[in-house]
Amino acid sequence: MAKGRASRGLPEGERERILAYLRLGYWRMLGELDRQLHESGLTARQFLLLRMLGEGNPVNARDVGVRLGVTPANVSGLVDRLERKRYLKRARVDEDRRKVRLEITSEGRKALKRARLERDELVRGVLARLSLREQRALLRALEKMVVAPKGPAGQGLPEPVRP
C-alpha cells in the first residue's frame, strides 16, 4: 500500500464493510454459541456471566451490566434464571448490607466447564477456516482495535468479557 494511502486509511465503503463484518460476525457467533450451549441449558449471555463469576473476583449486578453491555433489567433476568438453576447465589456485602455480590456455585462451575467445552468446539470450527498465519494476524488486528488508546472523541471501548 502506498504511503499516502496508508495515512488516509481505507475508503469509506471498505470501512463500512469492516464494521458490517464485525457486527455480523459478533451476532452470528453469539447466535451459534446459544445453539451450542443449548444442551448445557445456558444462553451465551448466561455463559458469559458464569465466566465472569468463575474468574474469582467479586462481582455485583452493575459490573455485570457494564461488562456484558446489557441493561439492569437484563442483568436481573440473567441472575434470576441462573439462581433458579442453582448456578449462582446472591450474597450480602458485610460492609454494606444493601449491596449484593454474585457468586458462582459448585453446580455453576460444573455447568461452566461443560459450556466451555462446547464453546471451544465452536471457536475451533470457526477458526479452522483460517490458516494459522491468518488466525494470528486476526488476533493481532483485533487486539490493536480493542486495546488501542482512546479515540479522537476520547471514547475507548469498555473492558469486554472474553467468550
Q: Is residue 163 part of a domain?
A: no
Spatial distance between the Cα atoms of 154 and 60, rounded to a whole number of angstroms = 27
Asked if residue 121 is part of any domain, the answer here is yes
Residue 81 CA from chain centroid, whole number: 19
The pLDDT tens digits for 83-105 are: 999 999 988 777 776 678 899 99
Strands (E), the chain: 88-93, 96-104
Q: Which residues contact 141 (CB under 8 A, 6 or more apart)?
A: none
Instruction: Establish if 94 belongs to a structural domain.
Output: yes
**Number of structural domains found in the chain:** 1
Is residue 46 in a domain?
A: yes
pTM: 0.69
CATH code where residue 110 lies: 1.10.10.10
Tell whether 138 is covered by a domain: yes
Question: For every one of its 163 residues, what pLDDT tens digit does the chain have, with 9 covering 90 and above?
Answer: 444 444 468 899 999 999 999 999 888 888 888 888 887 789 888 998 999 999 887 788 888 888 888 888 899 999 999 999 999 998 877 777 667 889 999 999 999 999 999 889 888 988 999 999 999 999 999 888 887 565 554 454 555 555 4
Residue 112 counted as domain residue: yes
Q: Is residue 3 part of a domain?
A: no
Q: Please give the residue range of the domain that contains residue 113.
A: 41-142
